[in-house]
Structure 1
Amino acid sequence: MQIDLSNKTALVTGATGELGRVIAGTLAQCGADILVHYHQNAAKAEQLKQQIEALGRRAITVQADVADLNSVKQMQQTALDAGFGSPDIVVANAVSQYSWTSVLEQDSSDYVDQFNSCVLQAVHLSKVFVPAMIERKAGRVVAINTECAMQNFPTQSAYVAGKRGMDGVYRVLAKEIGEHQITVNQVAPGWTISEKDRLNNTERSESYESTVPLKRRGTDQEIANVVAFLASDLSSFITGAYIPVAGGNVMATI
């Protein structure tokens, strides 16, 4: 049994980021053609496109501000004009960065920023790409959430607020479009080892690892593996799920 995404097209938002690059590459290795979304880093997007093409898959770079509906619509048009059609798989991975601090010190604009990149991204991607899935009676929506949404630790408030809001949108969406055989699921990574960690030799964190039942940090590839599973036919009867990929550091309860 293998994960086979042949003849599928996947959109990965935030594909130029540390995790996004691995997700896009993994989906391509499973056979999917890739829409490589970027916001500002066109050079990194082009590099990733070439890497995917080297695997024998088709790829195109598509620019958009996911917080802007018209920008997302233009991204869709770019893909259509290039002959890619509407994606069978949408992976909502993009998120904006900011400095974390306490609720009392966090600037209000950071909450707005996280709302835009988490909640509005979910809404805009759904509005633009789900209708074609409904017509096909098939589709996969996979969103990247976080273990922080369950932890609610100090300084996490803006990030948690955005991700919890996103969670609400996707749970409702799963119920609204399930009859069309479209699944909507979320992957919630723990503190993940990325290429940057490998280059800087910062993979280890004894204080964090001590709280994880598996006693280690997960890797970007381990996150991408779960995304690929949820994007495939192997997950055809899973929808509305929030799946921690955090070594047991957080556990969704019943």
Structure 2
Amino acid sequence: MIPIDLTGKIALVTGAGGQLGRVMVRTLAEAGADVIIHYRSSRGKAEELKQQVEALGRRALLVQADITSQAEIDRMRNEISGFYGELPHIVVANAVVQYEWTSVLEQSPEDYISQFESCVLQNVYLSKAFLPAMIERGAGRLIGINTECSMQNFPGQSAYTAGKRGMDGLYRVLAKEVGEHGITVNQVAPGWTISDRDREEGSELQAQYESSVPLKRRGTDQEIANTVVFLASDLASFTTGAFIPVCGGNVMPGI
């Protein structure tokens, strides 16, 4: 057995109270990391996560911020530094603005702006706030949550896909810019993932979608979190610039 040990590491997860984020938080803590739980409005879920992290014997900090604002992220950075005395070793950019999908002709321009702000600018702001400390340390992990939609380009996905494809370009450039400092920059691209919402609603089975997936099932939130924790660990020390679909083979990047 090859263990993943993040003891002594501090991890920030944005959108930590979301369907995927909450499992990432718990899994990072189970691997030994202290966790910064970012939220924008879901204070109750964040408080619950904090208790779960602390029950594992890890330190947890709640931080509220609008991730589309550099000033808010800078404030968050200062709160983190004041609490831990240092900045995170691992940053997981998971938050995204939710909106109603429709066709390009009917989609509001504001929806494209929200996706650019939450997919691209969030990562610019996080990089400016947290990468300098990683550069000084000579090590770090930036992990972004992308989507299989970036490769599907299906009708109705335009704003989301545009934002995530912009994020992909940013991450590839960042990987080349900060690699010499021992920082890895990678993306995890979930498929249509089973989360707590599906379990509560009994909607885990989606036959039409599953029929297109080579593994003939949907993935789980835990499987997404497992990939995030792998990328955060020393096991992925020579992996950077990667776009890793965790979707049962539903999309496959070309070479």
Q: Give the letter for the 1:187 counterpart.
A: V
Cα deviations across residues 211-250 of structure 1 (Å, max 9, x unaligned)?
A: 0000000000000000000000000000000000000000
What is the correspondence of 1:106-145 to structure 2 with a 5 Å cutoff? Answer: 106-145=107-146
Structure 2 residues not aligned, in runs of 5+ = none
CA shift at 1:40, angstroms?
A: 1.1
1:59 aligns with 2:81: no
What is the correspondence of 1:181-220 to structure 2 with a 5 Å cutoff? Answer: 181-220=182-221
Percent sequence identity is: 66
What is the correspondence of 1:135-174 to structure 2 with a 5 Å cutoff? Answer: 135-174=136-175
In the alignment, the residues of structure 2 paired with residue 54 and residue 180 of structure 1 have an alpha-carbon distance, to the nearest angstrom, of 34
CA shift at 1:80, angstroms?
A: 1.3
Q: Give the letter for the 1:189 counterpart.
A: P
Check whether the contact 1:9–1:84 (CA below 8 A) recurs between aligned residues: no
In the alignment, the residues of structure 2 paired with residue 121 and residue 232 of structure 1 have an alpha-carbon distance, to the nearest angstrom, of 23
Q: Give the letter for the 1:3 counterpart.
A: I
In the alignment, the residues of structure 1 paired with residue 85 and residue 15 of structure 2 have an alpha-carbon distance, to the nearest angstrom, of 19
In the alignment, the residues of structure 2 paired with residue 168 and residue 106 of structure 1 have an alpha-carbon distance, to the nearest angstrom, of 23
Name 2:10's counterpart in structure 1.
Answer: 9
In the alignment, the residues of structure 2 paired with residue 85 and residue 225 of structure 1 have an alpha-carbon distance, to the nearest angstrom, of 26
Name 1:105's counterpart in structure 2.
Answer: 106
SS at match of 2:20: helix
Structure 1 residues not aligned, in runs of 5+ = none
4+ aligned runs moved over 2 Å, structure 1: none
SS at match of 1:4: coil
CA RMSD across the alignment:
0.6
Check whether the contact 1:192–1:217 (CA below 8 A) recurs between aligned residues: yes
In the alignment, the residues of structure 2 paired with residue 182 and residue 83 of structure 1 have an alpha-carbon distance, to the nearest angstrom, of 21
In the alignment, the residues of structure 2 paired with residue 84 and residue 199 of structure 1 have an alpha-carbon distance, to the nearest angstrom, of 39
What is the correspondence of 1:21-36 to structure 2 with a 5 Å cutoff? Answer: 21-36=22-37
Q: Give the letter for the 2:34 counterpart.
A: D
SS at match of 1:102: coil
Q: Give the letter for the 2:159 counterpart.
A: A
CA shift at 1:79, angstroms?
A: 1.0
In the alignment, the residues of structure 2 paired with residue 226 and residue 84 of structure 1 have an alpha-carbon distance, to the nearest angstrom, of 28
Cα deviations across residues 78-130 of structure 1 (Å, max 9, x unaligned)?
A: 11111252000000000010000000000000000000000000100000000
In the alignment, the residues of structure 2 paired with residue 209 and residue 83 of structure 1 have an alpha-carbon distance, to the nearest angstrom, of 44
Change (3 A) 1:147 1:84: farther
CA shift at 1:179, angstroms?
A: 0.1
Name 1:76's counterpart in structure 2.
Answer: 77
Cα deviations across residues 17-55 of structure 1 (Å, max 9, x unaligned)?
A: 010000010000000000000011122111111111001
Q: Give the letter for the 1:41 counterpart.
A: S
TM superposition score normalised by structure 1: 0.99
Name 2:96's counterpart in structure 1.
Answer: 95
In the alignment, the residues of structure 2 paired with residue 201 and residue 29 of structure 1 have an alpha-carbon distance, to the nearest angstrom, of 27
In the alignment, the residues of structure 2 paired with residue 144 and residue 54 of structure 1 have an alpha-carbon distance, to the nearest angstrom, of 26
In the alignment, the residues of structure 1 paired with residue 25 and residue 192 of structure 2 have an alpha-carbon distance, to the nearest angstrom, of 19
Check whether the contact 1:188–1:245 (CA below 8 A) recurs between aligned residues: yes
Check whether the contact 1:150–1:250 (CA below 8 A) recurs between aligned residues: yes
In the alignment, the residues of structure 1 paired with residue 203 and residue 32 of structure 2 have an alpha-carbon distance, to the nearest angstrom, of 32
1:222 aligns with 2:223: yes
Check whether the contact 1:119–1:169 (CA below 8 A) recurs between aligned residues: yes
Q: Give the letter for the 1:224 counterpart.
A: A
